[in-house]
Amino acid sequence: MIAAQAIGQASLGEARSELLAFVVGLLLTFLGVRLNTRLIRARVSWWFHDIERGGTHVHHMVFGVIIMVATGLLTFAFAPGGLGLQALAFFFGVGVALTLDEFALILHLEDVYWSEKGRVSVDAVVVVVGASALTLVLGPPLVSGNTAGSTTSARSLAVIAAFNLACAVVAVTKGKLWTGFFGIWVPFVALVGAVRLARPGSPWARARYADRPAKLARAEQREARQRERASRLRLRFYDAIAGKPSSTPLEGPPHDRYDARS
């Protein structure tokens, strides 16, 4: 274990080793929780059922909050390093996964786990995993890929970061949320999103395309082509890892009270 820790820190660096532990804990827990809830939803007789105490369903985000609080207190109290901090990072990822898996319930203050609104939880997990993975591979955001040269001045890094952030903000206002998100780490991606046509209905399109019908028509045509293809891919991916949403409520405990056949 000590040898593996030394190798991991040598190849990744101490901070990245802890970030890797966080990502592993988050991903394993999220996939495990989704498998568990899908088996509950399918009413598999030999599988576990939802936890209830005194008639109150205990959501797994409750355990997630407890784990995050506990790992935070342990980190601040003992300030461990090395393998100890990596273990805490792993369990913090476990707590984050348990909480974000029910992020839609927190957002809407109702059990929308298997409804279309529940897809927000998967979006939240994808964003956190994506941000962690990009930081793990490319380094800190805004200046990723520009910190390798030791001769780069602080002023140059600040200019690069400001330009990168500006491009990401423009991409987001044009309705290109994922492009803006990934562009925080990859400047070229943010620049492409900033110079391309805005999506119809975005703040940029409403402000700048209202009196330019030709440009708005081009944006709508491009949106019709790309949106359909992207939506199909997104739905297939989300259905594979999280299960299909349903709009048909059934009687039963939370999380399995939606018809899996609809």
Residue 47 resides in a domain:
yes
Residues 6+ apart with CB under 8 A from 195: none
Which residues make beta-bridge pairs with 195? none
Residue 12 resides in a domain:
yes
Residue 249 resides in a domain:
no
pLDDT tens digits, one per residue of 10-68: 445 667 899 999 999 999 999 999 998 888 887 777 666 666 565 677 889 999 999 99
Expressed as residue numbers, the domain containing 78 is 2-138+197-242
Residue 183 to residue 168: CA distance in whole angstroms: 6
Residue 17 resides in a domain:
yes
pLDDT for the residue numbered 13: 62
Read off the pLDDT of each residue in 175-198 and give the average, rounded to a whole number: 87
Please work out, in degrees rounded to the nearest 5, the angle formed at the alpha carbon of residue 249 by the alpha carbons of 59 and 106: 35
pLDDT for the residue numbered 144: 62
Residue 156 resides in a domain:
no
- Count how many domains the chain has: 1
Angle, helices 213-242/119-138, rounded to nearest 10 degrees: 90
Residue with tokens 């407890």: 66
Residue 39 resides in a domain:
yes
Read off the pLDDT of each residue in 106-124 and give the average, rounded to a whole number: 89
Residue 78 resides in a domain:
yes
DSSP 254: T
Residue 25 to residue 99: CA distance in whole angstroms: 13
Residue 235 resides in a domain:
yes
pTM of the entire predicted model = 0.74
